[in-house]
Amino acid sequence: MLKEIEKFLKSKISNRKNYAIPKVWIEGFEQVYGDIFEEKENLLFVNPYLFFSKSISFILEHAKDIEYSKSLSIINGKKENNWIKNACIYGSLPRMTTAFNHKGFGTFEELDILGFKESGTFLKMIPLLLYMKKFKINTLYLLPISSSSTLFKKGSIGSPYAVKNPLKIDESYHDPLLEIFNVDDEFKALVEAAHILNIRVILDFIPRTASRDSDLIKNHPDWFYWIKIDDLSTYKPPKIEQLPFKIPDINDLHIIYRNLEVRKHLKKFVDSPDKIDPQKWEKVKNMEGNILVNIIKEFGIVTPPGFSDWVNDTQPTWDDITFLRLYLDHPIAAQNYVPENQKPYILFDVIKASKFPGAKPNYELWEYLSDIIPTYQKKFGIDGARIDMGHALPSKLQEMIIKKAKNLDPSFVFIAEELEMDNDEKAKNDGYNMILGNTWYSVARREEFYKLVEEKSIKMKLPFMASPETPDTPRISAREFGDKLKYLAPFLIYFLPNGVPYINSGQEIGEIQPMNLGLDNSIWGKTVLPPDDEFYGKLAFFDHYVLHWNNVDKNIFNFLKELMKMREIYKEFILNGEFKYVYFNYQDGYLANYSYWINNKGIIIVGNLDLSWGREFEIYLDKTYGENLEIKSINIWKKDGNIPIIAPSNVLKMFLDPGDFALIKINI
């Protein structure tokens, strides 16, 4: 597909340089693009067909004559999934990562007056693969790209997590420059290009929920819950005065079900439209227009919004999604409490199906859900998947999902949405190959940070994402002391044992606006940009958002490039070296440290977690190494560059400014 797109693009090249791109997308690629740009007002203008064909041609030069729409492991004849330990991940919502005002004047438009798609497209991701290679990225993790709904949307566009059709790719990713192609072609080309460049592709899947107007309703209205439309204005998770804020236990159920609000809540649910009036349903399901709107009009019923599985969670309802009906009956543990003739309903226990299963699995739905990933494997050759809300899935369903994918490709990798580091073993037993973890939380808290580095990471039974920030968290640059943490956090965690370095799209240019406020943030987190910024208050999950490509933090950009280069150079030490703590002349819980050794060669990582005060200390190299060490050379790398130690000895005197750090190379 990549070749066909290259051919098409070449046929359309003209002299018109009217497509603006950020400088940083192409910096350092003179060998790829040559002199095809014209600079105006600090923007590069280019003929778009020439630009994209140049990048694709360059990638194709590295291609062999094989089918790249298979997982990279299958291509290379490998069956292991330990590649994830070698991964360096770039996490991207392509809608955001590749959004840019290509007309070069005025403000952002999804599709602009010159006919350019300014929101993200897969075509634009292709030259960005080269950009990612500068950071030694070998794995691209994409947030959901499946067709999403705009019904009950929270911002100006739909959230990628409100999945309208899990089997379809969102049409918005089509680039109008590629007139004759479609999003499937374009995503295929992106995966091919990534695989040629030895970059694996991981997608995000959401089996527990669907958009309120999911395409699945048409053939399976009984896979959804239904309430009367007139009850929607009062629909919300019932308040259980007698209980605190908690995930309910089996012992709480009698309190919950006796609650008056719960009883009212249960009465709101009705049968699915096909049961209410089968004949009418046959007509309504084929009507033109949005299926849910038609059901509301004709039946007066609607799929209810989602809510948290915690009792007394103060979060508002999740208006853009609804839960899928995973069991055909009520939770076993609740069956004694549920009124007779109760219609299928949603409550805390129903949501948390992993803990409160029913007796009759909705196998037809389970088959459907577990076939989603294999469809993407067969069509595009993706290499892995993240499972959203896996913790709420019945364990049997989770098993089915993992098994089917691994049957097709044993090297296929599953990432659990598991934020608790201590649940590593559980996730491993469930068949996952990696967890998200909570490094982004730890790095912002000195004691947690110290624990992460000195205790947790070495004990992990599964790799975890070493992520200073994620799409759900504050940006590392926007944290308190962000000007120090944006360097210190990636430095200390990208080298951790079991850590898989993760760059959250935008992190590398010092972006401060979060993409979502889901974790470790408050509502004020969306107000960090100056209010005259075009994207002030916008969150990429709910609105169009353009990264500040025209205002790149060059210091962090160059630092991360350098850091990832060294991570690559010393990868052997991290993966196969001997892990040892570092011996100092004192330790006050502020000096993060670890080291890796292969024979008498070592790398030592030290960082000052104190962001206000410096630290002077000595490192005892012998004691660190564990026996006598012949020291031939010591090189210290710090943020500003390399410092060779002239007279290397067993005792290394160091001074680290607040938040400063060093990589010390022994005999290397």
224 contacts 346 by C-beta, under 8 angstroms? no
Binding of a second copy at residue 293 (CB under 8 A)?
yes
Give me the residue label for tokens 């040892």.
580
Separation between Cα atoms, residue 360 and residue 661, nearest integer Å: 56
Per DSSP, the three-state class of 106 is: coil
Nearer to a second copy, 148 or 624 (CB): 148
Q: What is the CA radius of gyration of the chain?
A: 27
Q: Count other C-beta atoms under 10 Å from residue 528's C-beta.
A: 19
Count of residues engaged in binding a second copy, rule: CB under 8 A:
40
Establish how many alpha carbons lie within 13 A of residue 447's alpha carbon, considering only the half-sphere containing its beta carbon. Answer: 0
CA distance 188 to 201: 11
CB-wise, 530 or 641, nearer to a second copy?
A: 530
* 319 in contact with a second copy (CB under 8 A): yes
Span interacting with a second copy, options 100-108, 257-265, 487-495, 646-654, rule CB under 8 A: 100-108
HSE-CB at 357 with a 13 A cutoff on CA atoms is 12
Looking at beta carbons only, is 77 or 530 nearer to a second copy? 530
> What is the spatial distance between Cα 630 and Cα 649, in angstroms, rounded to a whole number?
9
Phi, psi of 651 (to 5 degrees): -110, 120
Whether 471 and 541 have beta carbons less than 8 Å apart is answered as yes
Binding to a second copy, residues 506-525 (CB under 8 A)? 523-524
From candidates 8, 58, 235, 583, binder to a second copy by CB under 8 A = 235
Q: Does residue 114 interact with a second copy by CB under 8 A?
A: yes
Q: Is 228 in the site for a second copy (CB under 8 A)?
A: no
Of residues 218 and 403, the one with the C-beta less far from a second copy: 218
CA dist 663 and 638 (Å) reads 7
If one asks whether residue 117 binds a second copy (CB under 8 A), the answer comes out as no
Name residue 655's beta-bridge partners: 616
103 vs 548, beta carbon nearer a second copy: 103
* 91 Rama sector, left if φ>0, alpha if ψ -120 to 50, beta otherwise: beta
C-alpha to C-alpha distance for 232 and 211, rounded to whole angstroms: 16
Shortest Cβ 665–a second copy spacing (Å): 47
Q: Residue 598 and residue 587: Cα distance in Å, rounded? A: 25
45 versus 637: smaller Cβ distance to a second copy: 45
Select 340 or 532, whichever has its Cβ closest to a second copy.
532
User: Per DSSP, what are the bridge partners of residue 665?
Assistant: 603, 635
Query: Considering beta carbons, is residue 320 or 469 the nearer one to a second copy?
Result: 320
Q: Which is nearer to a second copy, 364 or 534 (CB)?
A: 534
Contact residue for a second copy among 89, 96, 130, 151 (CB under 8 A): 151
Residue from 91, 104, 361, 437 that binds a second copy (CB under 8 A)? 104
State which residue, 41 or 627, has the beta carbon closest to a second copy.
41
Binding positions for a second copy, 364-423, rule CB under 8 A: none
d(CA 632, CA 419): 43
For residue 331, the minimal CB distance to a second copy (Å) is: 27
Measured distance CA(227)–CA(302) in Å, rounded: 6
Report, in Å, the least distance between residue 321 CB and a second copy.
12
Selection from 489, 494, 491, 437 nearest residue 460 by Cα = 437
User: Residues 5, 24, 43, 140: which binds a second copy (CB under 8 A)?
Assistant: 43
**Cα 660 from Cα 496, distance rounded (Å):** 17
Minimum distance, C-beta of residue 541 to a second copy, in the bound complex (Å)? 15
What are 332's two structure tokens? Answer: 């076993």
Tell me whether residue 278 or residue 289 sits nearer to a second copy (CB atom).
289
Binder among 14, 28, 34, 40 for a second copy (CB under 8 A) = 40
End-to-end Cα spacing for the chain: 45
Separation CA 641–CA 624 (nearest Å): 24
CB of 474 to a second copy, least distance (A): 14
> Is residue 446 close enough to count as binding a second copy by CB under 8 A?
no
Q: Is residue 45 a contact residue for a second copy (CB under 8 A)?
A: yes
**105 near a second copy, rule: CB under 8 A:** yes
Q: Is 646 an interacting residue with respect to a second copy (CB under 8 A)? A: no
Q: Write out the residues near a second copy by the rule CB under 8 A.
A: 18, 20, 40-41, 43, 45, 103-107, 113-115, 151-152, 154, 156, 229-230, 232-235, 290, 292-293, 296-297, 305, 319, 523-524, 526-527, 530-532, 536-537
